[in-house]
A and B are shown apart, each in its own frame.
Chain A
Amino acid sequence: EDQVTQSPEALRLQEGESSSLNCSYTVSGLRGLFWYRQDPGKGPEFLFTLYSAGEEKEKERLKATLTKKESFLHITAPKPEDSATYLCAVQNPNSGGYQKVTFGIGTKLQVIP
């Protein structure tokens, strides 16, 4: 069964204190790895899709990287508005011929001014 594990479960940072969130996965035939941001009471907001090991993508203060076993979401000089839960998800082919997505529980990030 596909597994997606995110760590830490919660992270508290001072404004400007850079850090990384981890997403490790066990899935056969990974087709894509996704990062989403979810604010309280809202739906997940798409951030990045990564397709292959070695790939990197950036958006403002966020940079996502991918290896064969895990992905990192690096947050550089975070601001309070970056506070949210960050979700990782993996997509792989299943027997039904389509690509099922499995989500991790998420990392709850709090950035203190």
Chain B
Amino acid sequence: NAGVMQNPRHLVRRRGQEARLRCSPMKGHSHVYWYRQLPEEGLKFMVYLQKENIIDESGMPKERFSAEFPKEGPSILRIQQVVRGDSAAYFCASSPRITRGTVDTQYFGPGTRLTVL
């Protein structure tokens, strides 16, 4: 299965700990997006990355949250000093190389469910 992979699928952290969420895009995809989903709410955009570049982080909280997509390896969403309000499902999506003016479909991974105790 060459789909988007995320791990871990479930993550439990205590308040104040760090959470690291990983995303491997589909084969051939060089664009990664992170979204957060709360119960009964829609998917909220957090950050858009290409290899070694953050393109748009307008949806990501300024403090405690960071994201990277290194030249080698998966994309990482890091949440430092987690609080109970960070509990949510975090989804990663990927798309192929984007040509200006075209439409590119985003394909989603299974998500990581973060629970902060």
Chain A contacts to B: CB under 8 angstroms: 4, 31-32, 34, 36, 41-46, 49, 51, 87, 89, 91, 94, 96-106
A94-B41 Cα distance, complex, nearest whole Å: 23
Chain B contacts to A: CB under 8 angstroms: 4, 6, 33, 35, 40-45, 48, 55-56, 91, 98, 100, 103-111, 113
Do residues B103 and A49 form an inter-chain contact, with CB atoms below 8 A?
yes
Do residues B100 and A105 form an inter-chain contact, with CB atoms below 8 A?
no
Which of A4, A42, A49, A106 meets B105, CB within 8 Å? Answer: A49
Do residues A45 and B42 form an inter-chain contact, with CB atoms below 8 A?
no
A98-B45 Cα distance, complex, nearest whole Å: 14
A71 to B: closest C-beta gap in Å = 14
Using known A-B contacts A43-B91, A98-B56, determine if residue A34 contacts B105 with beta carbons closer than 8 Å.
yes
A44-B48 Cα distance, complex, nearest whole Å: 17
Do residues A98 and B48 form an inter-chain contact, with CB atoms below 8 A?
yes
Q: Which residues of chain A are near B6, meaning CB under 8 Å?
A: 43
Enumerate 22 A-B pairs (CB-CB under 8 Å) in ascending A order: A4-B42, A34-B105, A36-B108, A41-B111, A42-B111, A43-B91, A43-B108, A43-B109, A45-B108, A51-B103, A87-B42, A89-B43, A91-B103, A96-B56, A98-B55, A98-B56, A98-B98, A100-B45, A100-B56, A101-B45, A101-B106, A106-B42
Q: Which residues of chain B are near A102, meaning CB under 8 Å?
A: 45
Q: Which residues of chain B are near A97, meaning CB under 8 Å?
A: 100
